[in-house]
């Protein structure tokens, strides 16, 4: 059995009042609002749950993604990630995350057709991208252009019309590779390449990234497959920082483009989707295998973290990292071995034996090897978080849709414990800047 279903009661005695309470336990959780009844007096606000960074708070009921961090299990809609990675395409997985089932052939045909035919963006978006400096980070460009898309689709505000919602979902999944590739081509000063509807999702993205003077771009099938699998592995990860951001912004009934821009901004941070970029920078800084022990010592003294290691949820291994290692081998068979791989493997070996990493339950996460594959395929490091964002878009949208349709949800609005000054007053006659 996956999730705890044992219901019961939590008996609480409040030592301040000696009063007893019974708080219901449902699905292994107590409803935090029930704590409000625990008061010291009638005008007391009631007990709050204090949980910085939501480390022990379930913010929703979700049927999308299941993770067992102790056992290294990740499932989308019940299907193990290992099976989806070998048996499905990214677009099938996107459909699964959003609508709960793998698509039947007719549904898949329509889904693929719709996504393929929404890959173009308005020409003004291209001009908007032209306004960025030549050295603008592509993730900054992606965040901004996603937000800008909301101004092109005012119909996206019709959140509770299922057809409208589906259209925006299709548009967002379809346009992500286009925005990403346009941002890249702008950064390198190359003319934009428009989508090629003959190509599949990942292959078309490669076309927009790398097509030069050839009449028809032919994606390398090994790279195309690797990219598709990497997108699948990144497609959802339940209530992580960016998915929670998507839900929180969505809870105010902002349109999905604005919510997706906010989710991408959350992903940009080096502790989240920015980590794969940091892993590559770290491997380059280490430079060679001999420098690893000294580097590890500095991590252990707390000078900095070993990027690509550790996870809030996985405490034994990250199942995505295992699949990525296999994909890396397939890519290296085509390209030859990336020299950074030797540093990564040695770093992993030492870290997995070292008492600090073992006792802190720190294992390679999804970002540890993905960056090396991306680099080998020719993506610059700045594009790594952008690649993560392309893969994560269906997950964000599934979380957003589920949140919108959940009658238990309302606008997200946490409480705080105020620790500032008590009431005080502005001194009469105090000199002000208007004097």
Q: Which residues are catalytic?
A: 272, 311, 367
- Span between the terminal Cα atoms of the chain, in Å: 71
**Cα 129 from Cα 139, distance rounded (Å):** 12
Q: Which residues, 394 to 413, sit near ligand CMC by CB under 6 A?
A: none
Q: Out of 365, 370, 375, 376, point to the residue binding ligand CMC (CB under 6 A).
A: 365
Shortest distance, position 385 Cβ to ligand CMC, whole Å: 9
Shortest distance, position 345 Cβ to ligand CMC, whole Å: 17
Would you count residue 312 as binding ligand CMC (CB under 6 A)? yes
**Cα 232 from Cα 229, distance rounded (Å):** 5
Assigned token pair, 238: 């339940």
Q: Which residues, 68 to 107, sit near ligand CMC by CB under 6 A?
A: none
User: What count of Cα atoms within 13 Å lies in the side-chain half-sphere of residue 226?
Assistant: 28
Shortest distance, position 219 Cβ to ligand CMC, whole Å: 26
Q: Out of 10, 29, 86, 271, point to the residue binding ligand CMC (CB under 6 A).
A: 271
Shortest distance, position 399 Cβ to ligand CMC, whole Å: 14
Contact pattern for ligand CMC over residues 275 through 294, marking x by CB under 6 A = x-------------------
Shortest distance, position 267 Cβ to ligand CMC, whole Å: 7
What would you measure as the largest C-alpha separation in the chain, in angstroms?
A: 80
Would you count residue 307 as binding ligand CMC (CB under 6 A)? yes
Would you count residue 240 as binding ligand CMC (CB under 6 A)? yes
Would you count residue 310 as binding ligand CMC (CB under 6 A)? yes
Q: Helix, strand, or coil here: 20?
A: strand
Q: Out of 360, 378, 405, 415, point to the residue binding ligand CMC (CB under 6 A).
A: 360
Would you count residue 308 as binding ligand CMC (CB under 6 A)? yes
Q: Which residues, 41 to 60, sit near ligand CMC by CB under 6 A?
A: none
| φ, ψ at 6 (rounded to 5°) | -70, 115
**Of 159, 220, 44, nearest to 35 (Cα)?**
44
**Cα 241 from Cα 224, distance rounded (Å):** 28
Burial code (b: 16+ CB inside 10 Å, e: under 16) for 332-352 equals beeeeebebbebbebbbeebe
Burial class (CB in 10 A: 0-12, 13-18, 19+), 79: middle
Stretch of residues binding ligand CMC (CB under 6 A), selected from 9-17, 84-92, 303-311, 399-407: 303-311
Assigned token pair, 129: 């991208």
Would you count residue 193 as binding ligand CMC (CB under 6 A)? no
Choose between 168 and 240: whose C-beta lies nearer to ligand CMC: 240
**Cα 382 from Cα 433, distance rounded (Å):** 45
Shortest distance, position 333 Cβ to ligand CMC, whole Å: 26
Shortest distance, position 1 Cβ to ligand CMC, whole Å: 26
Shortest distance, position 353 Cβ to ligand CMC, whole Å: 15
Residue 11 β-bridge partners = 22
Choose between 184 and 295: whose C-beta lies nearer to ligand CMC: 295
**Cα 414 from Cα 70, distance rounded (Å):** 28
Would you count residue 239 as binding ligand CMC (CB under 6 A)? no
Helix (H) or strand (E) holding 24: strand 19-25
Q: Helix, strand, or coil here: 111?
A: helix
Choose between 110 and 272: whose C-beta lies nearer to ligand CMC: 272
* Contact between 131 and 378 (Cβ < 8 Å): no
Would you count residue 311 as binding ligand CMC (CB under 6 A)? yes
Q: Helix, strand, or coil here: 67?
A: strand
Assigned token pair, 148: 């800008």
Would you count residue 319 as binding ligand CMC (CB under 6 A)? no
Q: Out of 299, 323, 383, 397, point to the residue binding ligand CMC (CB under 6 A).
A: 299
Would you count residue 358 as binding ligand CMC (CB under 6 A)? no
Residues that bind ligand CMC (CB under 6 A): 237, 240, 271-273, 275, 299, 305-312, 360, 362, 365-367
């Amino acid at each position: 059995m996956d999730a705890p279903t044992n219901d019961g009661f939590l008996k609480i005695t409040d030592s301040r009042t000696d009063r007893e309470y019974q708080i219901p336990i449902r699905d292994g959780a107590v409803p935090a609002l029930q704590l409000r009844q625990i008061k010291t007096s009638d005008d007391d606000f009631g007990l709050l749950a204090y949980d910085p960074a939501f480390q022990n708070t379930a913010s929703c009921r979700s049927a999308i993604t299941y993770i067992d961090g102790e056992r290294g299990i990740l499932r989308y809609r019940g299907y193990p990630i290992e099976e989806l990675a070998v048996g499905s395409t990214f677009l099938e997985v996107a459909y699964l995350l959003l609508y709960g089932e793998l698509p039947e052939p007719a549904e898949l045909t329509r889904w693929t057709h719709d996504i393929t035919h929404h890959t173009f963006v308005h020409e003004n978006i291209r001009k908007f991208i032209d306004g960025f400096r030549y050295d603008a980070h592509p993730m900054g460009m992606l965040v901004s252009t996603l937000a800008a898309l909301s101004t092109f689709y005012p119909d996206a505000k019709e959140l509770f019309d299922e057809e409208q919602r589906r259209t925006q979902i299709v548009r967002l999944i379809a346009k992500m590779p286009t925005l990403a590739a346009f941002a890249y081509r702008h950064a390198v000063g190359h003319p934009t390449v428009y989508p090629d509807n003959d190509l599949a999702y990942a292959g078309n993205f490669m076309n927009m990234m790398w097509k030069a003077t050839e009449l028809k771009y032919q994606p390398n099938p090994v790279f195309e497959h690797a990219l598709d699998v990497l997108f699948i592995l990144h497609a959802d990860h339940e209530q992580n920082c960016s998915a929670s951001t998507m839900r929180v912004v969505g809870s105010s009934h902002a349109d999905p483009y604005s919510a997706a821009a906010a989710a991408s901004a959350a992903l940009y941070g080096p502790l989240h989707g920015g980590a794969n970029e940091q892993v590559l920078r770290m491997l380059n800084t280490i430079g060679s295998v001999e420098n690893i022990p000294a580097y590890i010592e500095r991590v252990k003294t707390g000078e900095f973290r070993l990027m690509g290691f550790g996870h809030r949820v996985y405490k034994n291994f990250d199942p995505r990292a295992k699949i990525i290692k296999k994909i890396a081998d397939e890519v290296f068979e085509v390209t030859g071995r990336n020299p950074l791989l030797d540093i990564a493997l040695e770093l992993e070996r030492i870290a997995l034996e070292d008492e600090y990493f073992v006792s802190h339950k720190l294992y390679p996460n999804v970002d540890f090897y993905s960056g090396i594959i991306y680099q080998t395929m020719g993506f610059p490091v700045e594009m790594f978080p952008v690649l993560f964002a392309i893969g994560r878009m269906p997950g964000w949208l599934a979380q957003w849709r589920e949140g919108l349709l959940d009658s238990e949800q309302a606008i997200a609005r946490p409480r705080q414990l105020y620790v500032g000054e008590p009431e005080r007053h502005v001194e009469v006659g105090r000199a002000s800047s208007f004097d």
